Structure 1
Amino acid sequence: MKTQNFKNHSKWVFGYHIVTFLAIVVLIVGSIRGFLKSSNDNLYSASLLVLISFILLFMFYFVRSFSLKAQDRAIRAEEKLRFFILTGKPLSTKLTTRQIIGLRFASDEELPALAKRAEQENLSEKEIKKEIINWKADLYRV
């Protein structure tokens, strides 16, 4: 496996992000088309198909967002503990969750100074990631 860095750290699952999303879009378009062409005999089943396709779209979104939210909470807790172990001090409460998530890729040597800079300069998650020299891989993310 390649060494993880800023350019390759994001994770796309082809079957989920591309295939499933496109299949749901095709289902929505097809079900709406079928609904518009339906007669009184099959209006009910056509409308249920439209409803199901939108339910799948919402599920596609929420399944991902709920798992990311849980992951973000775990990362926040892990990084607060790691910072405390490294420095003996709590991580600043002024850092946002997004900033802490950016800091998770920083090596132990870089974390304290980068956390201080992130707080003082209000660096974004992306800016924090760009500042990391020794990237600490996170291969277990959702």
Structure 2
Amino acid sequence: MSSTPRSQDYATHRRWNPLVHFVLTPLLIANIVVAGRALVRAPSAGTAWAATMAVALLLLSYAAREQALAVQNRVIRLEMALRLARVLPADLAARIDELRVGQLIGLRFASDAELPALVRQCLAGELRGADAVKRAVRDWQPDTLRA
């Protein structure tokens, strides 16, 4: 594995997990289609149960992914609070708790030098969500350790 971080910017920062996004999810969706067709062609308690379980498996996959992302967001919130407390001037550091999680998610890609200006924009309501903050970042810092 290379020790050099991959190049990353707004256009390339989204992370795709090939196993989840291109194998597991399509298989689970196909399973719903197959089970649904079987239920329509030969309705029975067994085919109804198979269709129900097919939907349950897709929902389980979605719930597991959402929980992993929720934990990741909590870690980002903590990580950014520590980083901002270290980097921001006192007047802004005192207002870290006013930043929304989405803003913190976007701010993590910014360099230390541009954080104060971006935080001011966030607190002024100019940058409301993660996407707006990410688009405003000029000196992109890659984050390659995401779930």
* Contact preservation (8 Å) 1:83, 1:90: no
Find the partner of 1:131 among 130, 133, 136: 136
* Contact preservation (8 Å) 1:80, 1:90: no
Matched, 1:13 2:17: yes
How far residue 9 of structure 1 moved from its aligned partner, in angstroms, is 0.4
* Contact preservation (8 Å) 1:5, 1:137: yes
How far residue 47 of structure 1 moved from its aligned partner, in angstroms, is 1.6
Name 2:77's counterpart in structure 1: 76
How far residue 31 of structure 1 moved from its aligned partner, in angstroms, is 0.5
Find the partner of 2:124 among 120, 129, 132: 120
Superposition TM-score, scaled by structure 1 size: 0.89
How far residue 91 of structure 1 moved from its aligned partner, in angstroms, is 4.3
Matched, 1:59 2:68: no
How far residue 32 of structure 1 moved from its aligned partner, in angstroms, is 1.1
Q: For 1:14 and 1:29, how far apart are their aligned partners in 2?
A: 21
Name 2:30's counterpart in structure 1: 26
Structure 1 residues 2-35: Cα deviation after superposition (integer angstroms, max 9, x where no partner): 4111110000112211221111111111111111
Structure 1 unaligned residues grouped into runs of 5+:
none
Name 2:86's counterpart in structure 1: 85
Paired residues, number? 139
Name 2:7's counterpart in structure 1: 3
Structure 2 unaligned residues grouped into runs of 5+:
none
Matched, 1:35 2:39: yes
* Contact preservation (8 Å) 1:83, 1:91: no
Superposition TM-score, scaled by structure 2 size: 0.87
Letter in 1 for 2:126: N
Q: For 1:2 and 1:82, how far apart are their aligned partners in 2?
A: 22
* Contact preservation (8 Å) 2:84, 2:96: no
Determine which structure has greater relative contact order: mean sequence separation of CA pairs < 8 Å that are 6+ residues apart, divided by chain length: 2
Find the partner of 1:104 among 73, 90, 108: 108
CA RMSD of aligned residues (A): 1.6
